[in-house]
Structure 1
Amino acid sequence: MTPPLSRRAVLQTAILAAAAPGAAYAAGGRAAAATLPAPSAWTLRPFQLGEVALGEGLFAAKRALMLDHGRGYDVNRLLQVFRTNAGLSTLGAVAPGGWEGLDGEANGNLRGHYTGHFLTMLAQAYGSTGEQAYADRIGSMVGALTEVREALRHDPAVLAVAGRFGTAPENVRGSYQYVDLPADVLGGASAITLSAWVKPTHDANWGRVFDFGNDTTRYLYLAARNASGVPRFAITTGGPGGEQGLDGAAALPSNVWSHLAVTIAGGTGTLYVNGAAVARNTAMPLTPAALGTLKNNWLGRSNYATDPVFAGAFDEFNVWSRALTADEITALQNSRAADSFAGRGDLASYAFDETTGGTFADASGRGLDATLRRTWGGPSHPGFLAAYPETQFILLESMTSGDYTKVWAPYYTAHKILRGLLDAFLYTDDARALDLASGMCDWMYSRLSPLPDATLQRMWGIFSSGEFGGIVEAICDLHALTGKAEHLALARLFDLDKLIDACAAGDDTLDGLHANQHIPIFTGLLRLYDATGEQRYLNAARNFWDMVVPVRMYGIGGTSTGEFWKARGVIAGTIGATDAETCCAYNMLKLSRMLFFHTRDPKYMDYYERALYNQVLGSKQDKADAEKPLVTYFIGLTPGHVRDYTPKQGTTCCEGTGMESATKYQDSVYFKAADGSALYVNLYSPTTLTWAEKGVTVTQTTDYPREQGSTLTVGGGSAAFELRLRVPSWATGGFRVTVNGRAVSGTPVPGSYFTVSRTWRRGDVVRVAVPFRLRVEKALDDPSVQTLFHGPVNLVARKTSTSYLPFGLYRDAALSGDLLPTFTPVTGKPLHYTLDGTEFAPFFEGTEDPTHAYFRRAEPKVAFGNTDSGVANPAKDDGTTLLDDIWAGAPFSGKGALVSRVRATVDAWVAAGLLGEADGEKVVETARNASYAS
C-alpha cells in the first residue's frame, strides 16, 4: 500500500506546480539598483534608505562611528575563513577572532556569520550615503566569495608557495587538505627511511607530517608536534599503548623550513631534525613489514579523526627501503634528494614542483602518483558556500540534542551569508551576488528536501545547533527576485510546526525557549504568509508578538535573560547582568515593522520607538574604533551594571546586528500607503524624505528626543495626500499640530495617528508639539521595582552601588502627573537630572558608566508638594500604595480636583480598613495646604 503524502509533501507539490518563474524586481532610487517587489498583503510600503537622508542629530552621530568602521576595516580578515576553507591564499590576513575564526569559541564553528553581517552593513551604508567606497568593498568581497565557491566546486588544487628548493604546496590552516598516497607506498620494507621538508604555520599539537595506517590500532606516523610540542615518530600494531616511539628535543619553528627524517633498521629507530640525530630508540623491532599493506597513507592527515590537519607547506617527501646513514641525511640539507648521495627514494619520491592541479608525480619509478584531497570530500551541490565544510550541516541531520562544540547553528550562519549577498545585490546590482545567493538556496533545497518531516522537525527544535535565524525571510526575499519554485518550497522546509501551531492557537509555550533562536522565525512566517496566503502564519506572528510585548519585555524594549525566556510576567525576577540580548531587540524591531505593514496597528510603532531610542541606541558605544563595532551583546540591567561593548573580541551575533542597526536608523521614519494616499510619520527624527512618486520632499527639523516635537517642511511640487502623524501612547497631554502657524482641529488620541489631509505645496510647514512627561513603569511581578521614562527616553541612574537605589518621586509631582518637578535639571546636559545627589541620564548614551535602569520605589510617608503629612504610606497586598492610588487619577485640572481625588481615595481606604480615619484626615489636610506645579 502506498503511504499517504505528508502535509509538507502536498504543500511542496502545490508550490512547485504554481510558483511563477522569472525575476521580478523594479528599479530603485539613489544607490539602490534593485528593490524587492512589495507583497500585495502589505497595506503600507517602506521607502528605500537612499530616499530618506539622516540629518544632524543623535542618529547621525551614532551612524558616523559605524560608517567609519565600515570604511576602514580590512575585509580580507573576514574573507580569511572562506579562503582557507577553499584552500586559497589568505593574502596574509588574520581572522578577527572571537566567534569569527578558526581559534574562536567552539572551534570557530560559527565562522562566516560575521562576513554576512558586514556585507549587509556595507550595503546599507552605500544605500544611505551613495559613497563609492562601500560599493567597492562589496564588489571585492563578492568577487572573493565567487572565487571561493568556484574553488569548492572542484577537487582541491595546489596553493603554490616558495619551497625549500623550488615551489611547494601549502595547506592553509582550515583548508582540511591532505595528500593521499597509494596503498603500497611503504612497500612492506623491513628497513626504511622517511624524509620530508616541512614549514609549519601553526602550533597545533598532533598535526601529522605523515600517517600511514588502517585505523587507530595499526599505523606509523610523524607528528610535527606532540602533546609536549616537539616532533614525535611512532609505530604500532597495538594502538597507542603499543607505540614504539621517538620524541624530539625542541619544537619546530613556525614559518621556517625544517628537515625531518626517520630511519628504522635492525631494531633501532632514529629521528633527525635538520640533519642532526635528536632521538634514538634501540628497542624498535617493528617495521613496515610488520604493518602489512595499509589502507590510509596520508601526508598532513591523521588516522585519529580529532587531530588537526597539518597546517603548513611540504617539500621533497622521499621513502627509501633502507636506513640512510647520518652522512646521507646530512647531505639532504643542502640539495635535492636527486642530487645527493642518497638519490631519490626508491619506494616513493615526490618533489612537489607542481603549481596547478592536485596530482603529484612519483619519481621513484614505481608510479605511485599522489593526489591532493579534502578530508570531507567536497560539497554535495555546486551552490554550496560556507567558511567551513559541509560536515556541520550533515551532522545536524542525525543530532538529537545540541552541542555547539560539534555543530553550531550552520543554517544560522548560512542565513547571515545569504542575507549579506542579497543586500549586496539589492544595493549594488552585482549579479554575482544574486547568483551566489541563488546557488546557496539551490544547495539547501537539494540537502533538505529529501529529508523526512520528522527529521526536519527534530533539527529545528534543537537548541543552538538547529538555530536558523531569519533564513526563511531571506529565502522568501530571494524567491521574490528569482521566482524559482524550489526557493519557496525551501522556505517552507524550515516550518517548526510545534511552535507555529501553538502560537497560531494563542498558546504561550515560550517559557524556557532560546529567545533569539525563535524571534526571527516569525518574520519569516510573515513573508511566507505574503507568498502563500496561509493564515496560520500571520496568526502565529501576531500572537507571538503579544507573548513578548509587554509580558516578557524590559522597559528599554529588550527581552530575554541569559538568552532565554522565563515565564510571562516575570520581569523583576529576571533582572541581571545578562538581560536583553541585543540581537533580540534587532529582531523584534524587524518583526514589529513587518506586522505594522500588515495591520497598521500603532502599538507596533510604539514598541519600535521604545526599543530603537533606548536599547538599540544604547547598545552602541559613543566611541570610534577601527577594529571593533563596539556594540553590546547583553545590555545588562542589574543595578550598577557597566556595559561591555567588546564581548568575545567583538564578533558575536550582536555586534553583527549592531552594525546593521547603525546603518539603517532611518528605515522606519516614514511609510507610505500602498495606494500612495497617505504618508505615515512614525518617528520624529531629523531626516529628509524624497517621495519621487509625489514629486515632493519632506524635511524634519528636530533635536528629538532632546526636543519635544518636530517641524516638517514640504518641498518640491504640490501633491494631495494625508499626513499621518504618530501620537505616542505616552503622549497623554498637549500633543498639538499646526500647519503654517494655524492649529489643526481634531483630538489627538495617544497610541494612534493624527491625520492632516490637504493638497501640500512647496513651503508648507507642519509643527508637531509632543510634550514629554516624566513617568514610571512598574515591573509586572514587583510594582516596587520601577524604571523611569521622560517621554520616549529611559532615564538611568549612574552610581557604582550594586543594589537597588531607593527613590521617592511623588513629593513634588505636578498636577499633570508629571514627576519631573521632583528632579533638578543638570545645566548644559539635556535630559540629565539629579535626585538626592544621584545623576540620571538617557539610556541611549553609550558610556561605560555604572547604571541603574531599575530602582526601588520608596514612598514611606504621604507627602504633597514637599510637605510631609507624617502619615505612613499604606499599601495593598499587590503593592499599590495610597499615593499610587491617588496619583493614578492624574492629570488634574487644578488643585481642587487633586484634593477631591485625595478625599475620595482616603475615604475608600478608610472604609476598607487600610487607613485610620485620623490619619486620613491628616492626608487630606496636607493635600489641601500644599502647593503644586501645573
Structure 2
Amino acid sequence: MAPPLSRRSLLQTAALAVAAPAVSLAPTARAAAAVAEAPAATAAPAAWTVQPFALDQVTLGQGVFADKRKLMLDHARGYDVNRLLQVFRANAGLPTADAVAPGGWEGLDGEANGNLRGHYTGHFITMLAQAWAGTGEQVFADRLRTMVGALTEVREALRKDPVVLSTAGRFGTAAENVRGSYQYVDLPSGVLGGTSAVTLSAWVKPTHDGNWARVFDFGDNTTRYMYLAARNADGVPRFAITTSGPGAEQGLNGTAALPLNQWSHLAVTIAGGTGILHVNGTEVARNTAMTLTPAALGTPVNNWLGRSNYAADPVFAGAYDEFNIWSRALTAAEITELQSGRATDSSAGRGDLAAYAFDETSGGTFADASGRNLTATLRRTWGGPSHAGFLAAYPETQFIDLESRTSSDYTKVWAPYYTAHKILRGVLDAYLATDDARALDLASGMCGWMYSRLSKLPESTRQRMWGLFSSGEFGGIVEAVCDLHAITGKAEHLALAQLFDLDRLIDSCAANTDILDGLHANQHIPIFTGYLRLYDATGERRYLDAARNFWDMVVPHRMYGIGGTSTGEFWKARDVIAGTISATTAETCCAYNMLKLSRTLFFHDQAPKYMDYYERALYNQVLGSKQDKADAEKPLVTYFIGLTPGHVRDYTPKQGTTCCEGTGMESATKYQDSVYFRKADGSALYVNLYSPSTLTWAEKGLTVTQTTNYPREQGTTLTLSGGSAAFELKLRVPSWATAGFRVTVNGRAVSGTPTPGGYVTVSRTWRGGDVVRIAVPFRLRVEKALDDPSLQTLFYGPVNLVGRNSATGYLELGLYRNAGLSGDLLPSLTPVTGKPLHYTLNGTEFAPFFEGTEDPTHAYFRRAEPGVVFGNTDSGVANPARSDGTTLLDEIWAGAPFGGKSALLARVRSTVDAWVTAGLLGAADGRTVVRTAERATFAA
C-alpha cells in the first residue's frame, strides 16, 4: 500500500485530498474547532481526469530553473519577516519591533498611501510554503510558523479594544501611537470646562512628518473646533480656533518644524485677547487679536489627542508624555519651568482641568490627575472589525467604502478583496505546508468575515463592485475559498465562493462572446481559475465553458511571443499584437495567472495546447522576469516586460513590493509544479516539460529521474528506479517540434510518427532500470504578429531569442539567405563560441529571453528580404510581394521541409511559374531565380 500523502504533498494538489491534520503546535480553541469540522478525507474532483504531483514529490535538478530558484531561495531565507509584519502589527496597535515596512505598495508612504499593504506578505508566505515543500529546509518552516504566529496575535488584537503601547517618555513612560494604527486618545466631554482663559501643554515625539496631524483637536465638526497641529502645510506647528469654519480661524504659526523622533514641548496660552505659542519653552508666535477662547466652543463633542475633526487628516504618529490643561494662562517662566521636570513638581502644578501623565503600561485608559476624574480612553478611528475573523494590514474601511462606491479611485479603495486573497492564500498554503492549525483558523476566520459582509449585500451591489476596475479586483480569491471548502466541507465557504460571480463576464465568455477589449487583464485572468474550481464543486457548466472560451480569447489572439499578455495592464482589440507593443507590455502577473489557468484547464481536458502555452510562457516570460542576480532586499522581478526596440528590463519596479514581484516570488519556488501529471486512476504518467527533475511516484513505488540540460540540450533522458508498474507514459510533442521527435526505450525505437502538438504514448509494464531517451531537434523559426506579418519574433525550439542592441527602432533582418532544406533558418545565424543558444546576425547578438540581464533587447524585429537569395547566392532579383505582404521567398519556403535539393527546386519552379503567370514576377527574373537556386548549396 502506498504511504499516505503528507500535508506538504497536498500543497500542490489544490487542497483536494486532505486528511485531518496531525497538529504539531498547540491550537487555539477556534483552531481545534475548525480542524474538527474538516472531513476525514475528501477526494479530488471527479472532473479532474488528470492530477498534479505535489512540490515535494518533484525535485529540481541542476539547470536554468534551479539557478533561478536559488536566487529566490536566498532572498526567502534572508529577508527580515518583521518588515512584512510591520503593517499588520501597526494596524492592530502592536509593537513593531522598530521594523521598517517595505517600500512601494507595502508601506504607508508608497503609491496610493499603501492601500494595498498586506498583499505582499501573503505572497511571501506562499513563497515560504512552496520553498519548504520543494526543499525541505527547516528555515522555511520556521519562518512560516513565525509569521503565522504573528498574524494570529494581530487578529487577536484587532478583536479587542486597543491597548496602550508603552514606551520610554520624556520623564518616565509615555504612550505611543504607531503610525498605521489609527489610534487616538478620546477625552471625556467637558474637559475644557468652558474656560475663557487656558493653557494647553503637551510633550510629543512625532515619528512621521505628515502635515495636519493633530496633537489635539477639540470640536464638534469642521465648523467649530480648536486644534494644535504638529505640522501645517508649511511644515511648522499651528494652533487655531474657530466657530465659523477654516476661513475664520484665529491662529498661531510656529517658525520651525518639530524634529522627528525627539521630544518637543508645545504650549498654547489664551487670555485677554492674546494667544501665545511656545515651543520648547520659547515663544514662537503671538496673536493679540484673538477674540475666541474655549468658552466660545461650548462643550465640544469630540475631544481628541491625535485625531482631527477633518477625516482626511492623518492620525498623529508618535508618542505622548504629559498633557495638561489649566484654566488660566501660565506665565513664560512657568512654561520654561515645565521643560525640566514633571508638571506635578513645577510651580504650576498639574493641570486643573485635565492632567494625563501617560504612565500606564497596560489597558486602554489613561488616568486624569486633575481631580476631575476625566479618564481618557484609547480608541481606533474606525472602531473595530465587523467580524472576529477579520485580518488585514489596514482598517475595514476600504471594504465598507467599496460597497457604496460607483467609480474607481485607487487612492481611496485599492482592491481590498485582492489583498484579502493574497493573505488568505498565504495562510492556507502555510497550513497545507506545515499542519499549523492556527493558519487554518486564520483562513477559516477570514472567510467567515467575508461571508458575513458579502452575504448581506444585494446581488446588484456585488455585481457593481466586481465590475469596478481596480477597486473591485479580487484576484484568485474564488480558487482559494474553494480550496478551503475542500478542507473544511463548510457550506458557508462554498456559498462565499459563489458570491464573487461576475455574471456579465461569465455569461459572455460562456456564450463565446469576446468582451475583453478594454478590460484590465490581471483583474480577470485569475477569476477564471476560480470559476473552474467552482465548476468542480458545483458542476455548473457555465463556469467551465466560460473558462475554456476565455483562454481561447487570450491565446493566441492577445498573446505576445513570450507568452505574456496586456499592454499598460489592459487588453486591446482581438488580434492586435503589433499595434499594442509598448514599454508596458506583458505584465508579469498575467503570465503567472495564465499558467495557473492553463494547468487547471488541462486537469479537465488534456488538450496539448494548454501545455504548449505553459512551456512558452514558463521558459520565456516567467524565467526572463527574474534577474540573474542576488539581492537581499529585493526579489528582482519585472512588473512589465516592454517589447519595444531596445527595451531594458526593470527588475526593481515602482519602488518594490508590487503584485508582480509577489507572483514572481511564487513562480520561482514552484518551477516544477507542472513537469509531471498523473491520470486520476493512476493509469498514465504525463511528462509535460523537459526539465531536469526527479519524480517520486509513491503510489507506484517508482522514481523517475529526468536528466537533461534542456533547453540547452535538444532532448532528455528518463531513468526509472524502484519496483514495477504498468501505466502509459505520455510524452509531450511540442507543436514546434517539426524537425523530428524520436523516442527509444532501453535503446529500442518506439514505433509511430509523433504528431507535433500532441503526446506520444508508450504503454508497458515499467521496471527499475528502464531508460527512455527523447530527442527533440530544434529549428529556428519565426512567429508573426497577427496584425502585421512583417513584425516577427525569433524562436529556437521553445526559446525566444532576442537581439541585444541599443537601437530604439526595429531591427531589419533577413533570414532566408542560408535557410536549410528542412526550413530551419538557423544557418543564416552564426553561433557564438562558448555561449549556448547565443548567435549573431548582422552584428547583433541574439540570446535567450530567459536570461535575466539588463541589456537593451529587441524581442520583435522587422522582417526584410529585399532580394531573392539562396544558399548565400544572390540572384540580383528583387523579392516581389503580394498585396497581403507575402513574398516570393515566403511562398517558396512555406513548402519546407524538403527531402532534398531536387524537392526544393521543384518548389522554386512551380512557385516562380505561378508568380510569373499572375504578373507578379517578370519571366526573365523568374528564370534568373530558378538558375540561382540550381547553383546554390543548401544546408540540411
Tell me if both proteins adopt one fold, taking TM over 0.5 as the criterion.
yes
Say if 2:585 is the partner of 1:605: no
Equivalent of 1:304 in 300, 307, 310? 310
**TM-score, reference length from structure 2:** 0.96
Matches within 5 A, 1:217-366: 217-366=223-372
SS at match of 2:106: coil
- Match of residue 152, structure 1, among 143, 150, 158: 158
Q: What SS is found at the alignment partner of 1:333? A: helix
- Please point out which of 169, 184, 207 is paired with 1:201: 207
Match of 2:571 in 1: 565
- Answer yes or no: is 1:678 the counterpart of 2:684: yes
2:463 aligned with 1:437, yes or no? no
Task: Report the RMSD for the aligned CA atoms in angstroms.
Answer: 1.4
> Could you tell me which amino acid in structure 2 is paired with residue 169 of structure 1?
A
**SS of aligned partner of 2:908:** helix
What is the deviation of 1:26? 6.9
Matched ranges for 1:509-588 at <5 A: 509-588=515-594
Q: Is the 1:613–1:793 Cα contact (8 Å) retained in structure 2?
A: yes
1:32-85 deviations in whole A, cap 9, x for unaligned? 999532992101111110110001111000000000000000000111110111
- Does residue 108 (structure 1) correspond to residue 114 (structure 2)? The answer is yes
**Secondary structure of 2:650's aligned partner:** coil
Aligned twin of 2:26: none
- C-alpha separation between the residues in 2 aligned to 1:296 and 1:875? 80
Mapped to 2, the partners of 1:621 and 1:812 lie a distance apart of 34
- Other-structure match for 2:750: 744
Name the residue aligned to 2:35. Answer: none
Give the residue type in structure 2 aligned to 1:214: D
Q: Counterpart of 1:37?
A: 17
Q: What does 1:895-934 correspond to in 2, within 5 Å?
A: 895-934=901-940
| Structure 2: distance between partners of 1:453 and 1:905 | 62
Alpha-carbon spacing, 1:25–1:292, altered in 2? closer, same or farther (3 Å)? farther
Letter of the 1:508 partner, please give it: D
Q: Could you tell me how far apart the structure 2 residues matched to 1:272 and 1:587 are? A: 58
* CA distance in structure 2 between the partners assigned to 1:649 and 1:482 by the alignment: 39
Query: Is 1:402 the counterpart of 2:376 in the alignment?
Result: no
- Residue number in structure 2 paired with 1:69: 75
Q: 5+ unaligned residues in a row in structure 2: which ranges?
A: 20-45
Cross-structure match for 2:142? 136
The residue number in structure 1 matching 2:659 is 653
Distance 1:33 1:139, change over 3 A: farther
User: Which residue does the alignment assign to 2:167?
Assistant: 161
2:600 paired with 1:594: yes
Q: For residues 651-677 of structure 1, what are the alpha-carbon distances to aligned partners after superposition, in whole Å with 9 as ceiling and x for unaligned?
A: 110000000000000000000110001
**Could you tell me whether the CA contact under 8 Å between 1:33 and 1:426 is conserved in 2?**
no
The 2-side partners of 1:89 and 1:851 are apart by: 47
Show CA shifts across 1:276-299 (max 9, x none): 222211111211111111111100
Look up the match of 1:7: none
Question: Structure 1 28/108 Cα, relative in aligned 2: closer, same or farther at 3 Å?
Answer: closer
Q: In the alignment, which residue of structure 2 is the partner of 1:94? A: 100
AA at the equivalent of 2:191: V
Inter-partner Cα distance in structure 2 for 1:247 and 1:561: 49
Aligned mate of 1:456, from 444, 462, 467: 462
CA contact (8 A) 1:27 1:35 kept: no
Tell me, in whole angstroms, the C-alpha distance in 2 between the residues paired with 1:321 and 1:696. 86
State the partner residue of 1:4. none
Aligned residues: 911
Of 113, 124, 148, which aligns to 1:118? 124
Q: Structure 2 vs 1, CA of residues 27 and 352 (structure 1 numbering), >3 Å: closer, same or farther? A: closer
1:722-733 equivalences under 5 Å are 722-733=728-739
Which letter does structure 1 place at the counterpart of 2:709?
D
* CA pair 126-564 structure 1, distance change in 2 beyond 3 A: same
Q: Distance in 1 between matches of 2:390 and 2:884?
A: 58
The equivalent position to 1:386 in structure 2, one of 380, 392, 409, is 392
Query: After the TM superposition, which of the residue ranges 271-280 and 175-184 deviates more from structure 2?
Result: 271-280
Aligned amino acid, residue 330 of structure 1: T
5 Å-filtered alignment, 1:418-437, equals 418-437=424-443
- Is 1:195–1:319's contact at 8 Å kept on the other side of the alignment? yes
**Helix, strand or coil: the match of 1:332?**
helix
1:471-516: CA deviation from partner (whole Å, max 9, x where unpaired): 0000100111111111110111111000100000000000011000
Amino acid at match of 1:634: F
| 1:337-389 deviation per Cα after TM superposition (whole angstroms, max 9, x unaligned) | 22221122111111211111111122222222111110011100010000100
The answer for the alignment partner of 1:15 in structure 2 is none
Identity of aligned residues (%): 82
Q: Which amino acid aligns with 1:37?
A: A
Aligned partners of 2:7 and 2:432 also within 8 Å = no
Rounded to whole Å, the distance in 2 between the matches of 1:358 and 1:69 is 39
Q: CA deviation at 1:879?
A: 1.0
Q: Which secondary structure does the structure 1 equivalent of 2:278 belong to? A: strand
* Structure 1 contact 31–126 (Cα < 8 Å) conserved: no
Please tell me whether the aligned partners of residues 15 and 486 of structure 2 are also in contact (alpha carbons under 8 angstroms). no
CA distance in 2, matches of 1:746, 1:577: 46
Query: In the alignment, which residue of structure 2 is the partner of 1:863?
Result: 869
**Contact preservation (8 Å) 1:99, 1:652:** yes
Which amino acid in 1 is paired with 2:87?
Answer: V
Match of 1:471 among 461, 466, 477: 477
In structure 1, how many angstroms separate the alpha carbons of the residues matched to 2:14 and 2:781? 45
Is this contact kept in 2: 1:201–1:312, CA < 8 A?
Answer: yes
- TM-score of the aligned structures, taking structure 1 as reference length: 0.96
CA–CA distance in structure 2, aligned partners of residues 27 and 106 of structure 1:
38
Query: Which of 629, 640, 645 lines up with 1:639 in the alignment?
Result: 645
2:492 equivalent in structure 1:
486
Residue of 854, 876, 890 corresponding to 2:882: 876
Matches of 1:848 and 1:494, distance apart in 2: 40
State the one-letter code of the partner of 1:654: C
- Displacement of 1:308 after TM fit? 0.6
Match of 1:510, SS state, is: coil
Q: Which residue number corresponds to residue 11 of structure 1?
A: none
Distance 1:804 1:333 in 2: 70
Q: Which amino acid in the other structure matches residue 830 of structure 2?
A: T
Return the offset for 1:910: 2.0
Structure 1: segments with no counterpart, 5+ residues: 1-23
Note the alpha carbon deviations across 1:193-242, whole angstroms, 9 max, x for none. Answer: 11111111111111101000111111111111111211111111121121
Rounded Cα–Cα distance in structure 2 between residues aligned with 1:243 and 1:402 = 34
CA distance in 2, matches of 1:562, 1:239: 43
